[in-house]
Amino acid sequence: MKTKLVVFVAIALMATGIIASLIISRPWIAFRNVEPLKVTGYAELPVESDIAIMEVTITFTANTSHQAYQTCGEQLHILRKMVESKLPEDSEIRELSSNISEVLKRNEEGKQINVIDYYAARRSLKITSTAVEAMDELSKEIYDLTRDGIRMNVSGPRFLVSDLGDFKFELVQAATRNGMQRAKIIAKNAKARLGNLVAARQGVIQITQPHSTDTSSWGRYDTSTIEKVAKVTVHLELGIR
């Protein structure tokens, strides 16, 4: 009985030694079923705006609502003529809703009293054009109208990319290729082989000014410049063997 026990213990020790030597000589055996290799691919593409949008609001004050509204309309007409002279005919110039407000007088303590001081009329134009360079110049020249006593508030222009969907497809493809290249380099240096793709996830697309590092977890869309850069990351998980 003791002889059988000794033999059994000896065999068990030999088996343990063989397994241990295999793990030491080929450590990948112990890790071949762990989490897949995770890499991040990155790509960026230059994009150019092909549409611009700008809103201009003119304000005029007068003692009567009629005078305020009429004069504001005349100034808006001057603005429209200037826009039409600077942009191509296919540009869209649309008048937005107008309004007139009563501005009450204030007493010596600075509190409003129930007496009308003057009327303020506001009328706006929304300008949309594919001539983005001309729109950029217009946004600077439009302030020349202030010399004629025209009070205005300019919003924009906002420069947009209308066919962004096409760029997104190309961008994701490039980021995926970049991620696969990184995975191959890592696997080669680790003396391993890549397996099947386990999972893939696209990050949010960032559209920024050239040479900008601004990003946002929700994505960024800069509209201040004509020239932009679209960026995206793709997160890949691949099996290794």
Residue 34 half-sphere exposure toward CB, CA atoms < 13 A: 8
Q: Which of 97, 128, 160 is the last residue of a domain?
A: 160
Q: Is 55 found in the same domain as 118?
A: yes
Q: Is 235 found in the same domain as 156?
A: no
CATH number of the structural domain spanning residue 156:
3.30.70.360
Q: Which of 125, 160, 195 is the last residue of a domain?
A: 160
In this structure, what DSSP letter does residue 221 have? B
User: How far, in Å, CA of 184 to CA of 196, rounded?
Assistant: 12
Q: Is 187 found in the same domain as 150?
A: no
User: How far, in Å, CA of 220 to CA of 218, rounded?
Assistant: 7
Structural domain span for residue 57: 51-160
pLDDT of 47:
93
Domains in the chain: how many in total?
Answer: 3
Q: Is 152 found in the same domain as 66?
A: yes
CATH number of the structural domain spanning residue 194:
3.30.110.170
pLDDT of 109:
86
Q: Is 196 found in the same domain as 98?
A: no
Q: Which of 110, 139, 160 is the last residue of a domain?
A: 160
- Within 98-186, strands assigned E span 99-106, 112-129, 151-160
Taking only Cα atoms into account, the Rg of the chain, rounded to an integer number of angstroms, comes to: 34
Q: Is 151 found in the same domain as 62?
A: yes
Q: Choose among 97, 96, 77, 86: nearest CA to 148.
A: 77
- What three-state secondary structure class fits 190? coil
Task: Render each residue's pLDDT in the chain as its tens digit; 241 residues.
Answer: 544 444 444 444 344 444 334 333 444 434 445 578 999 999 999 999 999 999 999 999 999 999 999 999 999 999 999 999 999 999 999 999 899 999 899 988 888 888 899 999 999 999 999 999 999 999 999 999 999 889 999 999 999 998 888 888 999 999 999 999 999 999 999 888 898 999 999 999 999 999 998 888 888 999 999 999 999 999 999 998 8
Q: Is 168 found in the same domain as 73?
A: no
Model-level pTM?
0.76
